């Protein structure tokens, strides 16, 4: 993820350094934002780019990006990216630490939907409403890019104004796994054989001792899975099991294509330029890119969802019968395509006191609240219209739901 600050810092300019950008900012043209007035006063160049990443560089990162080299393996991603940008763009201040607020534009290049939703929720939490009216100065635009192989997308989100990540959650279907019957009895693909070893054989044989979970980053673990997968594949005359594929399946690695990343990164950078300079209309608001077969791209306007649980300010209704069990509510929160929560914690207020109905992340509380899952909503003393507050890793904010009893 990158956070970009449009503030111009110290000057270390040489003559004509910003000539190309000036052509966009000092001349008018057919694609200009209708309210923009070309001028020599306009912004010239980004100087403050904050790079945020908690991860270290792995050798598997090298094929799909431009900033890391073999010598950088093991170093923090943010440090190396910052060093690279600092040496590539003289005068660009690019620290790798960060303070959260005060950024003008945020660019996400994340590899998980949960992280996107969290960042989306964070920016929504910073919005200021006065008498229900959004204060536009509290909006921090979010530019999100993503790729998967030869496909990619770039989108511009104005939190509170345009469709947010959660408004379009149905666009990100839950990960599809191979059917268990295929894995167990009719494998046809090398992946089926690897999944067989990962899901069934590893827990049964525990090759590295009891309680040792399969670690995709441990070469000995991968080697074991690879060997067993080869045996399984040989039984069914399946070819194509390799060490690399084994690691890919175990770690759920999505293949990355550097040129797709470059196209999406360029689209994101262009949007940053347009928003920061106000010279051109930003992408409205979702661009699809696909060069699997030829090259295909189009833009559509993703629409806000009226009852979006993240950005609508309206508590969503949960329709359940009073005789439904709490487990059913929990299942709905995780399985509904519009919510897709990961480990929701449900609390409510009863007789003026907070009551935790179920919480998974702390073992002692999980144990204490687990019996609630098999109780009915009636038995738990919940009433029609009761508010349930749900916390989850998909958002930094608590999501409010209203319980609506069906008969
Ligand atoms: Zn939304």
Domains delineated in the chain: 2-172+257-300 (3.40.50.720), 180-251 (1.10.10.520), 316-405 (3.10.290.20)
Residue 169 buriedness (CB in 10 A; 0-12 / 13-18 / 19+): buried
Does residue 167 have an active-site annotation?
no
- Look up residue 195 and give its two tokens: 């999944």
CA–CA dist 250, 300 (Å, integer): 35
Residue 9 has what pLDDT?
45
Question: How many Å is the maximal CA-CA distance in the chain?
Answer: 76
Contact 195, 249 (CB under 8 A): yes
Question: How far, in Å, is the centroid of ligand 1 from the Cα of 169?
Answer: 9
Residue 110 buriedness (CB in 10 A; 0-12 / 13-18 / 19+): middle
Residue 96 has what pLDDT?
58
Question: How far, in Å, is the centroid of ligand 1 from the Cα of 316?
Answer: 12
On the CB side of 320, how many CA atoms lie within 13 Å of its CA? 26
pLDDT tens for the chain, 407 residues: list them: 445 544 444 456 778 888 888 888 888 888 888 888 888 776 655 667 777 777 788 887 777 777 888 899 888 888 888 888 878 877 766 665 555 566 889 999 887 888 899 999 999 999 999 888 999 999 999 999 999 889 999 999 999 999 999 999 887 766 667 778 888 888 999 999 999 999 999 999 999 988 889 999 899 999 999 999 999 999 999 999 999 999 989 988 777 888 999 999 999 999 999 998 888 999 999 999 999 889 999 999 999 998 898 998 788 889 999 999 999 999 999 988 888 898 899 999 998 889 999 998 888 999 999 999 999 999 999 999 999 999 998 888 888 899 999 97
Question: How far, in Å, is the centroid of ligand 1 from the Cα of 81?
Answer: 31
pTM score, whole prediction:
0.74
Question: How far, in Å, is the centroid of ligand 1 from the Cα of 312?
Answer: 6
Question: How far, in Å, is the centroid of ligand 1 from the Cα of 168?
Answer: 7
| Angle, in degrees to the nearest 10, between helices 219-235 and 243-250 | 110
Residue 3 has what pLDDT?
52
On the CB side of 21, how many CA atoms lie within 13 Å of its CA? 15
Residues with CB in 5 Å of ion ligand 1? 164, 166-167, 308, 310-311
Residue in 108, 181, 311, 404 annotated catalytic: 181
Question: How far, in Å, is the centroid of ligand 1 from the Cα of 337?
Answer: 14
- Look up residue 368 and give its two tokens: 């204490």
């Amino acid at each position: 993820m990158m956070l970009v600050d449009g503030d111009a810092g110290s000057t270390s300019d040489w003559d004509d350094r910003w000539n190309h950008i000036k052509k966009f900012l000092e001349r008018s043209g057919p694609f200009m934002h209708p309210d923009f007035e070309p001028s020599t006063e306009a912004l010239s160049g980004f100087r403050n780019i904050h790079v945020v990443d908690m991860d270290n560089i792995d050798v598997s990162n090298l094929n799909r990006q431009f900033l890391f080299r073999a010598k950088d393996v093991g170093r923090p991603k943010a440090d190396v990216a910052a060093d690279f940008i600092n040496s590539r763009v003289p005068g660009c201040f690019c620290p790798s630490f960060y303070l959260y607020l005060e950024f003008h534009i945020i660019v996400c290049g994340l590899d998980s939907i949960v992280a996107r939703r969290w960042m989306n929720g964070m920016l929504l939490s910073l919005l200021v409403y006065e008498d229900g009216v959004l204060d536009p100065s509290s909006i921090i635009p979010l530019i999100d890019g993503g790729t998967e192989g030869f496909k990619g997308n770039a989108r511009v989100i104005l939190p509170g104004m345009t469709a947010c990540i959660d408004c379009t959650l149905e666009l990100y279907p839950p990960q599809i796994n191979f059917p268990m019957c295929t894995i167990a009895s009719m494998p046809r693909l090398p992946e089926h054989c690897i999944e067989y070893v990962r899901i069934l054989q590893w827990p049964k044989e525990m090759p590295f001792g009891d309680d040792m979970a399969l670690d995709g980053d441990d070469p000995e673990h991968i080697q074991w899975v690879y060997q067993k997968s080869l045996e399984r594949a040989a039984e069914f005359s399946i070819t194509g099991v390799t060490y690399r594929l084994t690691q890919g399946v175990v770690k759920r690695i999505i293949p990355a294509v550097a040129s797709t990343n470059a196209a999406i990164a360029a689209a994101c950078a262009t949007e940053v330029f347009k928003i920061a300079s106000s010279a051109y209309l930003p992408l409205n608001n979702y661009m699809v890119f696909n060069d699997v077969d030829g090259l295909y791209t189009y833009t559509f306007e993703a629409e806000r969802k009226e009852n979006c649980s993240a950005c609508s300010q309206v508590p969503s209704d949960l329709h359940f019968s009073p005789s439904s069990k709490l487990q059913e509510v929990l299942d709905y929160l995780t399985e509904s395509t519009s919510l897709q929560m990961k480990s929701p914690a449900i609390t409510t207020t009863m007789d003026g006191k907070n009551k935790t109905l179920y919480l998974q992340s702390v073992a002692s509380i999980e144990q204490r609240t687990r019996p609630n899952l098999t109780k009915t909503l009636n038995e738990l003393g919940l009433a029609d219209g009761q508010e349930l507050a749900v916390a989850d890793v998909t958002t930094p904010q608590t999501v409010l739901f209203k319980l609506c009893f069906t008969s």
